[in-house]
Amino acid sequence: MYIVTADAAMQRAATQSEVLIPIPNLEAFLKIAAEGETPELIASVETVIETEEFQTKVREYIEEHIGWLGQIYSGDLPEGEILEVVVTGDPEIHKLSVISASQDVVGVMLSMNVPLEVTVEYEDRSHAIYDREDDRWYLSEQETMEFEDAPIVRMYVEFELPNMTIAEMNLTTTDTHLSEPYENYK
């Protein structure tokens, strides 16, 4: 991780941490970022992320970690609550950004749509009665419904050079907003 500081003591501490990389000013940081976005480097990253092996690793990682994301239901079902989320296909990567590059590693941010099957529990109010005085529904029943969604998920991937092997993967998205598809009545 880069740290922009002109303070000599902070630069020494960052160097000793072996995690932080000190940079003296913002201009030097922007130069590093520009150097990382070379066409050759982007082409080699694209070659790797298009392989079936990489797609499989990303899908397995997401399947394993999807439960760690906040899953927020934002559809039209009353009192909807997500019970289960299952990855149903390979993520579709639609944007990649090289955010760090050195002689040993390349750090990349990926934005992708992840196909999911979502099970949601909700109140079926089709036969319920609403009491205005109590502001409450009576005779409603709990039902479940499944729907498909493909929210955008962002992931950081670090590749070791020169073989472009995966060194690290982390989801950077914290919450996914899921809702059932709606019909457009035109």
pLDDT digits (tens, 9 = 90+) for 40-95: 777 888 888 889 999 999 999 999 999 888 899 988 888 889 999 999 999 999 99
Residue 19 placed within a domain = no
Note whether 45 and 165 are within 8 A (CB).
no
Read off φ and ψ for residue 30, nearest 5 degrees: -65, -35
The structure's pTM equals 0.71
Range of the domain at 128: 25-176
Please check whether residue 12 lies inside any domain of the structure: no
At a CB cut-off of 8 Å and minimum separation 6, what does 93 contact?
49, 110, 111, 112
Closest CA to 99 of 90, 110, 91: 110
Domain presence at residue 4 = no
Structural domain contains residue 39: yes
Structure tokens at 116: 């999911």
Establish if 129 belongs to a structural domain. Answer: yes
Total count of domains within the chain: 1
User: What is the rounded distance in angstroms from the CA atom of residue 46 to the CA atom of residue 113?
Assistant: 17
Compute the distance between CA of residue 114 and CA of residue 2 in angstroms, rounded to an integer.
29
pLDDT at 34 over 60: no
> Do 87 and 142 form a contact (C-beta atoms < 8 A)?
no
Residue 17 inside a domain? The answer is no
Of 55 and 3, more confident:
55
Averaged confidence pLDDT in the chain: 85
Q: Decide if 18 is inside a domain.
A: no
pLDDT class of 151 with cuts at 50, 70, 90: very high
- Whether 148 maps to a domain, the answer reads yes
Pull the structure tokens for residue 89.
């296909």
